[in-house]
Structure 1
Amino acid sequence: MSKVLTFGEIMLRLSTSPGTHFSNIVSFQAHYGGAEANVAVNLANFGYDVAFASKVPDNALGLSVKRHLQKYGVNTKPLLLGGNRLGTYYLDSGVGERSSAVIYDRANSSFASVQEMEWDFEQLFENVDILHLSGITPALSEKLAEISLRLVKEAKKRDIKVSFDINFRSKLWNHDQASRTLAKILPYVDYCSAGKMDAIYLLGIPENQTEQDDTDYYYQKMHEKYNNIEVFYSTKREVHSATSNSLQGTLWKDGKTYVSKVHKLEPIIDRVGGGDAFSAGILHGLVTGADLNYTVSFASAYSGLKHTIYGDCNPFAIRDVENLMENGSAKINR
């Protein structure tokens, strides 16, 4: 199987229980997670050789993060120790008409404080076939934006496929900042997670005024702007309430769009990590050369399953996902 390298920040997530609020909280559920770390865990769960490059403090929390990743089979050799603190964020879990809310506490974290390229390219990219990172990392600092760009350039020099999830976070940077950075990174990307809103507000694609289907139109226009990108993918989510969504996966390649069935997600136990599960599912299909209808259907089902459990990590095996795809129901497996 292909060797995958992911690069980004892993954090401690402290979540309220449904039906509580930050203003009167007495306890939190604790989980470790972050976009790139989640993709690493998900792919390791499928049997891939995956390494996660990041930096965590040299204390008990840093050791706990390392053990968390190792428990799932992720190679932590490029996980550096140092800095002052582990990034943290708080999640107020929504229910019904009350949406979830996030408060970040990640300033001056060990990873966000990185000021130079601390990873050796030769060691980092040894036998690597795919590099995966997201727009969250360059949003953390100008220095990490520079490092992200260096990584994708170096990967392309070594004929390594680059996977990039735009993953825009308005609490980390604005549209203009993101657009300028993306314009530098995307010319080196092979697989890209980007949807309609990304196309309009970050990539400068004019809104669809034609009779063409929105999905086809925006994928086509993004490819015209960045014809180096072989595959675009994203999800369409209809939010009925905080605990009831409809989800459909889409994938574009060689001028053709592929869509999954619509998954009704109700009740949602934990939405965080659903997009990362989708990305991991897409990468699994692309690496194995699977049929693209299968690939987008697999990724959507895998993402749907993630919504049924607490925490960022998705523990379901390939056979579990394919069982859902085949049976399409929650009937008991006997």
Structure 2
Amino acid sequence: MSLPPVLPAAQCRYDAVALGEVMLRLDPGATRIRAARSFDVWEGGGEYNVARALSRTFGHRTAVLTALVDNEVGRLLESLIMAGGVDPSWIRWRDFDGTGTATRNALNFTERGFGVRGALGVSDRGHSAASQLGPADFDLEELFGVRGVRWLHTGGIFAGLSASASACAGAAMERARAAGAVVSVDLNFRPSLFRGDGGAERARATFHGLAGGADVLVGGFQDFADRLGVHAPDAAAPEAERFAAVAELLMERYPRLRVVASTVRRATSASVNDWGARAYARGGGYAESRVFRDLAIFDRVGGGDGFVAGFAHAVLDGGDLQTALEYGAAHGALAMTTPGDGSMASLAEVRSLAADAGHGESR
């Protein structure tokens, strides 16, 4: 089996860079959005969360490619990004028009859920600065060709914001691969981004482009079927066999793919889940992580991003597929035990939890 090769750290300015929208998350805590009188604030975003965890938990050098409006909310987001250990120097700042009519910073109101009440997100992101990004907004040659990046992460949330954001993701992935960086893509799908006439066709085109540019593709059976049109040949086969079959079909369709990975979540309630992960590497390597049975969930948002960060860390650190899965599953589990999108786990905690699965640490 074959994991993607990783550039030496000494040759690169950054270990990982995330391309995506960073939103201000407003968290009502234990109550509901409709009943809240105060909110905690965090920064978050499906792509950014990976870079933050790689920096704060795993000690890697990371940056975020995004855009913000230059007002007090944008500067609050910048300070939160800096506190997360992520280099903000690649943020593209947009002028504030006084009302946010032309461009604005994105907000995300998020309930954690509890018991029979599921988590709930209410996004307020229309005309956001990040949605207006395009291929010409970043000096990709300077970033990947001169400074050097070992890993680029992006995904379906950012690419789904607009046609220009999708083009921006495509250009960044192409330049990153040409420079030798590993490219990971999370097929996160938000129906709200694809409503209206032509939405289904735009979603298929967007996700096809993402899959075609990825080395590591993260998603589930529904993502592969609904967005990429790839179905398991035998629907009655065991899940492991179906996953391996789908991964092989994806690799036939997208020749650049090296790894297909998926988190596995079975929810008893919003507060109790079984949690694990599986992956298939080109050349026939299938692996499953330890399954965390009846995992107590404090805040499920960011669990999948936590998996990607742990997986990427292990690969960057020279680990094999099994080790990457154990680190990803362990870190994702820990990320869901604390509030907010961002991980509060320590590397020692991740190592300990991953080692409990009976597999060696990455070296």
Q: Please indicate, yes or no, whether the TM-score normalized by the shorter chain is above 0.5.
A: yes
Say which SS state the counterpart of residue 42 (structure 2) adopts: strand
Say which SS state the counterpart of residue 95 (structure 1) adopts: coil
CA distance in 1, matches of 2:25, 2:125: 11
Structure 2 residue 77 is matched with structure 1 residue 89? no
Q: 1:112 aligns with which of 123, 127, 131?
A: 131
The one-letter amino acid of 1:27's match is: S
Partner of 1:216: 244
The number of residues matched between the two structures is 327
Partner of 1:332: none
Partner of 1:38: 49
What is the correspondence of 1:173-184 to structure 2 with a 5 Å cutoff? 173=194, 174-184=199-209
What is the correspondence of 1:26-175 to structure 2 with a 5 Å cutoff? 26-45=37-56, 46-83=58-95, 84-114=103-133, 117-125=136-144, 126-173=147-194, 174-175=199-200
Q: Name the % identity.
A: 28
Structure 1 residues 296 and 240: alpha-carbon distance in aligned structure 2, compared to 1, 3 A threshold = same
Partner of 1:228: 256
Partner of 2:222: 197
| Bigger RCO (CA 8 Å, 6+ sep) | 2
CA distance in 2, matches of 1:185, 1:236: 22
- TM normalised by structure 2 equals 0.85
Partner of 2:348: 319
CA distance in 1, matches of 2:142, 2:255: 30
Partner of 2:331: 302
Residues 250 and 257 in structure 1, CA contact (< 8 A), matched pair in contact too: yes
Structure 1 residues 247 and 131: alpha-carbon distance in aligned structure 2, compared to 1, 3 A threshold = same
The one-letter amino acid of 1:234's match is: S
In the TM superposition, residue 16 of structure 1 has moved relative to its aligned partner by: 2.4
Residues 23 and 43 in structure 2, CA contact (< 8 A), matched pair in contact too: yes
The one-letter amino acid of 2:265's match is: R
Partner of 2:6: none
In the TM superposition, residue 29 of structure 1 has moved relative to its aligned partner by: 2.3
CA distance in 2, matches of 1:159, 1:326: 31
CA distance in 2, matches of 1:168, 1:285: 26
Q: What are structure 2's unaligned runs of at least 5 residues?
A: 1-8, 96-102, 358-363
In the TM superposition, residue 175 of structure 1 has moved relative to its aligned partner by: 4.2
CA distance in 1, matches of 2:330, 2:127: 37
Partner of 2:3: none
1:130-165 CA-partner distances (Å, limit 9, x unpaired): 211111111101111111111112222323221111
Residues 176 and 202 in structure 1, CA contact (< 8 A), matched pair in contact too: no
Aligned CA-pair RMSD: 1.9
CA distance in 1, matches of 2:356, 2:171: 45
The one-letter amino acid of 1:191's match is: V
Residues 287 and 321 in structure 2, CA contact (< 8 A), matched pair in contact too: yes
Structure 1 residues 248 and 71: alpha-carbon distance in aligned structure 2, compared to 1, 3 A threshold = same
1:13-35 CA-partner distances (Å, limit 9, x unpaired): 112223x3333222222211101
Say which SS state the counterpart of residue 137 (structure 1) adopts: helix
Structure 1 residues 52 and 259: alpha-carbon distance in aligned structure 2, compared to 1, 3 A threshold = same
Say which SS state the counterpart of residue 298 (structure 2) adopts: coil
Structure 2 residue 256 is matched with structure 1 residue 244? no
The one-letter amino acid of 1:37's match is: Y
Residues 195 and 218 in structure 1, CA contact (< 8 A), matched pair in contact too: no
In the TM superposition, residue 199 of structure 1 has moved relative to its aligned partner by: 1.4
Structure 2 residue 18 is matched with structure 1 residue 6? yes
